Structure 1
Amino acid sequence: MQTITANNYSVYFDSIGYETLASLLIPSHYSKIFILVDENTSQYCLPHFLNNLATEIEIEIIELEVGEIHKNIATCTEVWSALSELGGDRKSIVLNLGGGVISDLGGFVACTFKRGIDFVNIPTTLLSMVDASIGGKNGVDLGNLKNQIGIIREPKAVLIDTQFLNTLPQNEMRSGLAEMLKHGLIFDKTYWDKFKNLKDLNTEDLNVLIHQSIQIKNNIVCEDLTENGIRKSLNFGHTLGHAIESYFLENEAKKNLLHGEAVAIGMILESYISKEKDLLSNAEYHEIKYIINDIFDRIDFSKLEIEKIIDLLIYDKKNEFGKVQFALLDGIGKIKINQEVDNALIYKAFEDYNA
């Protein structure tokens, strides 16, 4: 697949990615390579990656526990300490081999160690391929509040190897699909339409869709790296989705939702809000709701749970001057940013979802 060029880096695919990485990782460029993995990617992805990695530089592996619950400053401290103890310096490089947590946290650690060292993202989940590894956002959660601490700084490169997808369970694949669906809804109706017959898609079709999804996000980010304008469109489904995800993270009685599972619910809710604000037709709304519900399991929300989720919106990182800002659909394939929504309409969206 064709290389995608971003502002200050490129996204490489399969063998071209490994060839590019080999040309980057030479002793005159870097003193030591640190590969950041979690328990899953250490077992299922690291052997394949090392078999394809050509370098003479010394390699150290740093392994983290699995899960969003570990995406915090405490884990960063552990990684910073490991980098120091293992001889990391200003000419070290971090290779983030994993999903969204590894991409987000690994990038943040690299950006802040020794005031910033280079890093490369090698995403191993569908979600991280089409979202977390692209665009230069790096950060961690503050308690259960999503992505409150971070920095925007682009990686040295991104390497997409779709063979890693063979290691994923179905729920992780669905989680990544949520971001791909979002890209169609906010930017390209023709792309969205391709998901109407998801069961008919083969592996090659999926690879093409992944490439197109990355291209859509990259086009938006290249226009607005620091999220002052059009990049806010990528937040569709995330204002309520992040609040839902945070609520499930902080409640031990609840089974944690994957990021894409929470965003899928958020997209249905925010599509309803778009409809009620006369931005989206009734037919478009029901099409979105049907397709997303056909892929993802539904969850029932009690009145108390809805209230607690709405309370979490105050912590959304997109808020300005104390007001919650939504990105809403202006028809399928178009978006309106900086939209204010009152709590009564959010309640109605949840009621419709529950129904």
Structure 2
Amino acid sequence: MQTIIANNYHVFFNEKGYQYLSEILVPKDYSKIFILVDENTSNHCLPKFLSMLSTEVEIEIIELEAGEENKNIETCLQIWHSLTELGGDRKSIILNLGGGVITDIGGFIACTFKRGIDFINIPTTLLSMVDASIGGKNGVDLGNLKNQIGIIREPKAVIIDTLFLETLPGNQMRSGFAEMLKHGLIFDREYWNKLKNVSSLNTNDLNSLIHESVEIKNKIVSEDITENGIRKSLNFGHTLGHAIESYFLENTEKQSLLHGEAIAIGMILEGFISKEKGLLTDEEYQELKYVISDIYDPIEFNEVDIKNCIDLLIYDKKNEFGTIQFALLNGIGKIKINEQSSNELIFKAFENYKS
């Protein structure tokens, strides 16, 4: 797969990524390499990665507990202390080997340690390959509120090794696939059409579709790195999806949802809002709802659940002047940003989802 050129970095695929690492990780440029992993990537991905890594620079491993609930400032404090105790300095580099939690928190750590050191993202989940590792967003959650604390700063590089996907369970693959579906819905009707028949896709198809998804996100981010315009289109499904994800994360009576599982629901809900506002035809909405519902299990919401999810919208990081901002579909493959919706319409969207 061809290397993708972003604003200030490159996205390398498979063996080209390891070639790049061997060229830049040299003692004259870096004093120490820190590899940030969680317990899952430590077991399933780190041995392969280390076998492919060729460098004379000293390596230290920092391992975290897995899970979104650990993407917080308390974990950052632990990592900052570890970096200090292990002799990290301004010429150190952090390699973030893991899923979206690792690339999000690892980038944030690198941006803030010693006022900023280099970092490279090596995503190991489908979600982090097509979304979290691309575009320079780094940060942590504030309690159960998603991505409230962070900074936009691009990595030195992103290295995507699709063989890591062989270590993933099905629910993690589906979680990442939700972001690929979103890319088609907001940007490219033809790409969406390729994704619709997911059961017929083989490994070669998936590699090609991952590359195309990264290209789509990179095109959008390259036009608007600070999210003042077109980059807001990437928030389709995320305004309500993040609220749902946060609610299920904090509610001990609910089973936590993976990011993509929550975003899948969010896309159906926000697709309905798009239809009700006259931006999406009923035929397009039914197509969206059918495709997504065929991939993801339904989640039950009662009236209390819906009210609590709506209440969480006030904390959405995309809000401006106290107004909740939606990115809505303006037909499949097109988007309209800075849209509003009444609570009544949001509640109606939930009722339609339940049906």
TM-score in same-fold range (> 0.5):
yes
Cα displacement (A) at 1:197:
1.3
Query: Matched residues in 1 for 2:16 and 2:106: separation?
Result: 23
Partner SS state of residue 94, structure 1 = strand
Match of 1:39 in 2: 39
| Aligned partner letter, 2:236 | F
**Equivalent residue, structure 1, for 2:76:** 76
CA displacement at 1:244 relative to structure 2: 0.1
Query: Could you say what secondary structure the match of 2:227 adopts?
Result: coil
In the aligned structure 1, how far is the partner of 2:294 from the partner of 2:168?
A: 20
Q: Which amino acid aligns with 1:288?
A: L
For 1:131, the aligned partner's letter is D
**CA-CA distance at 1:195 after TM superposition:** 1.6
With normalisation by structure 2, the TM-score equals 1.00
Structure 2 counterparts to residues 1-355 of structure 1, below 5 A: 1-355=1-355
TM-score by length of 1: 1.00
Secondary structure in 2 matching 1:97: strand
Distance 1:134 1:118 in 2: 15
Cα offsets for 1:16-58 (capped at 9, x unmatched) = 0100011110111100000000000000000000000010000
Cα distance between partner residues in 2 of 1:289 and 1:48: 39
Q: Distance in 2 between matches of 1:234 and 1:296?
A: 20
Matched residues in 1 for 2:271 and 2:24: separation? 44
SS at match of 2:341: coil
Aligned partners of 1:64 and 1:200: how far apart in 2?
Answer: 36
Q: Cα RMSD between the aligned structures?
A: 0.3
SS in 2 for 1:63: strand
Q: Quick one: distance in 1 between partners of 2:234 and 2:224?
A: 11
User: Secondary structure, in 3 states, of the residue corresponding to 2:184?
Assistant: helix
Q: How many Å apart are 1:317 and its aligned residue?
A: 0.2
Deviation at 1:307, TM superposition (A): 0.2
> Which AA in structure 1 matches 2:184?
G
Report the more deviating stretch, 192-201 or 328-337. Answer: 192-201
Superposed CA offset, 1:305-340 (max 9, x none): 000000000000000000000000000000000001
CA distance in 1, matches of 2:28, 2:196: 50
Alpha-carbon separation, structure 2, partners of 1:317 and 1:199: 35
Cα distance between partner residues in 2 of 1:31 and 1:252: 44
Matches of 1:91 and 1:261, distance apart in 2? 39
Alignment deviations for residues 173-208 of structure 1 (CA, whole Å, 9 cap, x no partner): 000000000000000000000122111110000000
Unaligned segments of structure 2, at least 5 residues: none
Q: CA-to-partner distance for each residue in 1:102-143, whole Å, 9 max, x for gaps? A: 000000000000000000000000000000000000000000
Amino acid of the structure 2 residue aligned with 1:103: T
**Alpha-carbon distance in 1 for matches of 2:17, 2:142:** 34
Task: Determine the C-alpha separation between the residues in 2 that align with 1:204 and 1:342.
Answer: 44
Q: What letter is aligned with 2:238?
A: H
| Counterpart Cα distance in 2 of 1:294 and 1:195 | 12
Paired AA for residue 209 in structure 1: L
Corresponding letter in the other structure for 2:119: F
2 CA distance for matches of 1:248 and 1:197?
29
Amino acid at match of 1:196: K
Post-superposition CA distance 1:200-238 (Å, at most 9, x none)? 110000000000000000000000000000000000000
Deviation above 6 Å: which 4+ runs of structure 1? none
Letter in 2 for 1:294: D
3-state SS, counterpart of residue 287 of structure 1? helix
Separation in structure 2 between the aligned mates of residue 253 and residue 118 of structure 1, nearest angstrom = 41
2:241, 2:22 → 1: CA distance? 39
- 3-state SS of the aligned residue for 1:192? helix
Identity %: 74
What SS does structure 2 have at the residue aligned with 1:35?
A: strand
SS at match of 2:197: helix
CA distance in 1, matches of 2:275, 2:231: 22
CA distance in 2, matches of 1:251, 1:346: 21
Distance (Å, rounded) in 1 between the aligned partners of 2:318 and 2:210: 27
